Amino acid sequence: MKIEVLTLFPNMFACLNESVIGRALENEKFTLNVTDIREYSTDKHKKCDDYPFGGGSGMVMTPQPIFDAIAAVDPNRDCKRIFLSPKGKTLSQPLVEQLSSEENLLFLCGHYEGVDQRVIDSEIDLELSIGDYVLTGGELACMVAIDAIARYIDGVLGSSESTNEESFSNGLLEYPQYTRPQNFRGMTVPEVLLSGNHGEIDKWRYNEQIRITKEKRPDLLEEK
Ligand code: ADE
């Protein structure tokens, strides 16, 4: 997969060079190109924002640098083009999985009070939100989406990591995990996990998933 990011703050994306995603990029499991929208501004001061027509507070990102940046990085429109916005469709694990099967993704990060609507109307395939709250810009939301999507790309997770048995993988929250020591300061590990009886362990884990989901996220059970 190739991921293109368009932003006014390319340095923020240094976070993705760490940990699991950093390792995957180094091993070329997918490619990530971060483009500074400002480089495409034809304004002599490289200005990328202006006052909103109709008045109101804040600034709006102007269309010219964004149209030109998109045309430069995705000339044949072979990326699914995503704009990060609190107005978008809320990211969920099924949507993450669906996006991970795309060949190429392009993320446009907005700032200030938003971007000129003509960009969204003519250039964007999907508006995406990471939740019902407002961030100062789309960059953090974009990194959240990339992190979640990249986990589904072949070879990104190591053999000991997996998307099979984790929260949301079967619509339920994950069961509790324990490691050594068996007794830590008087707190012990559930006996069944030490039994070696895999049938009983599976049963216990499933019951724990139901119990925890009921307790923490009953809405997930209602959806089923
Ligand atoms: N930009 C600002 N807030 C956002 C959110 N909640 N999701 C995606 N992009 C955003």
pLDDT digits (tens, 9 = 90+) for 18-60: 999 999 999 999 999 999 999 999 999 999 999 999 999 999 9
> Given ligand 1 and candidates 85, 87, 96, 147, which is best to mutate, with the most ligand atoms within 8 Å of its CB?
85
Check if 114 has its Cβ closer than 6 Å to any atom of ligand 1: no
pLDDT at 111: 87
Average pLDDT for 77-106:
98
CA-nearest residue for atom 5, ligand 1, is 86
Average pLDDT for 127-143:
97
- CB–CB of 60/115 below 8 Å? yes
pTM: 0.95
Residue 224 has pLDDT above 70, yes or no: no
Is the pLDDT higher at 170 or at 97?
Answer: 97
Average pLDDT for 68-97:
98
Burial of 41 (0-12, 13-18, 19+ CB in 10 A): buried
pLDDT at 59: 96
Q: How far apart are CA 137 and CA 134, in angstroms?
A: 8
pLDDT at 112: 75
pLDDT at 164: 79
pLDDT at 192: 98
Query: Ligand 1: distance of its center to the CA of 138 in Å?
Result: 5
Total Cβ atoms within 10 A of residue 208: 16
Q: How far apart are CA 178 and CA 204, in angstroms?
A: 13
Sign of the CA dihedral with 101 first, then 94, 134, and 62 last: positive
Q: How far apart are CA 142 and CA 150, in angstroms?
A: 12
pLDDT at 64: 98
Query: Ligand 1: distance of its center to the CA of 203 in Å?
Result: 39
> Given ligand 1 and candidates 82, 111, 134, which is best to mutate, with the most ligand atoms within 8 Å of its CB?
134
Residue 161 has pLDDT above 80, yes or no: no
Residue 76 has pLDDT above 80, yes or no: yes
pLDDT at 26: 98
The rounded mean pLDDT for the chain is 96
Q: Strand 80-90's sheet: what is its strand order?
A: 31-36, 2-7, 104-109, 80-90, 126-129
pLDDT category at 128 given cuts 50, 70, 90 is: very high
Average pLDDT for 59-75:
98
